[in-house]
Structures are given as C-alpha cells and as structure tokens.
Amino acid sequence: MIDNTVVSLSEQVGSLDVLKLARRLSGDLRALILVYKSPEAVPPPLLKTTLKQLQTRLRAEKVKLTPKEEPAKKGNSGGTGKKESRPEDEASSSSKSDDCVNKKQDSAKSDSDSEMQTSPAKSEETKEPPSPGPLDDLELLDKTINELIEIVEKDH
C-alpha cells in the first residue's frame, strides 16, 4: 500500500493542484514519514525524485501567493529596499499593528464592564479556525516534504 502511494504520487506530481491538495498531501507524506522512520523500511529511489519535483511545484505556488503580500511591505519601507532593512520594516509594522491591537483592547477595557471584555475574546476565538489559508497549507506541506527528504537521504 505504501509503495502504491509513492508510485501514484510520482505519476501525478506533474498534474497535481498543489494549492488545493496541500493539506491532503501533507497527511499522505506524514504517513510516509512514519513508515520510513523505521529502520527496516527502505524508501524507493523514486521517492526522492518525486519529492524534489513536488517541492519545486510547491515553491512555485508559494511565489504566486507571496507577492500579493509583498507590495504592502515594500510600500511601507519607503527606503532602499535592501534585504537588511526589510526585517526592521516588518518588525516596525508588526509593532504598529500590536500597538493598534493594544489600543483597541485598552479602549474596550475602559468603555465596558467585565461582560463586554469577554465577548471580544469569544469573537476572536471564533475567527481563528478559518484563518489558516492556502499559504499556511503550503508552508505545512513544505515542512513535511523537507522532513521526508531528510529521512530519505539518510537511508542512502
């Protein structure tokens, strides 16, 4: 059954919709990780090539999704665009958003009683489950692929 999974994945790697199937692929690859972590299990050579192809496709999808967020970061930098300045820009924008959140929380505390303070927390909790988006799924898949590649490379 495991060999069939590897063969099937290798046959379909070129035609898979990585974005739509990222979570399912992560699950399948985690199953392969469990199998191939065992000292007795020897991964087929086909698996490494398949994983490399899948990783290439995955990174292409991540590039397609990532630029949508980049212009906002570049617009906020207003500077040279050097790699050294980007972490500072991200940190400052992150701290600005933290300040906004803190101000909202402070105003909620001053404007309401204890019952009102718990309701924003509940609404935030209900908003959290749908928050993992396609980029998060791709990140999970990327980590899973990397872990499996490490296991496969140790055996050779």
Question: The dihedral of CA 152, 9, 49, 22: what is its sign?
Answer: negative
pLDDT digits (tens, 9 = 90+) for 6-52: 888 899 999 999 999 999 999 999 999 999 999 898 999 899 999 99
Question: What is the reported pLDDT for 140?
Answer: 96
**Rounded-to-integer distance, Cα 87 and Cα 125, Å:** 29
pLDDT digits 0-9 by tens, 85-125: 444 444 444 444 455 445 445 544 444 444 444 445 554 55
Q: How far apart are CA 85 and CA 29, in angstroms?
A: 37
Mean pLDDT over all residues of the chain? 73
Question: What pLDDT sits at residue 154?
Answer: 84
Q: Which phi and psi angles does 22 have, rounded to 5°?
A: -55, -45
pTM (predicted TM-score): 0.58
Tell me the CB-side half-sphere exposure of residue 42, using CA atoms within 13 A.
Answer: 3
Cβ neighbours of 5 (radius 10 Å) = 15
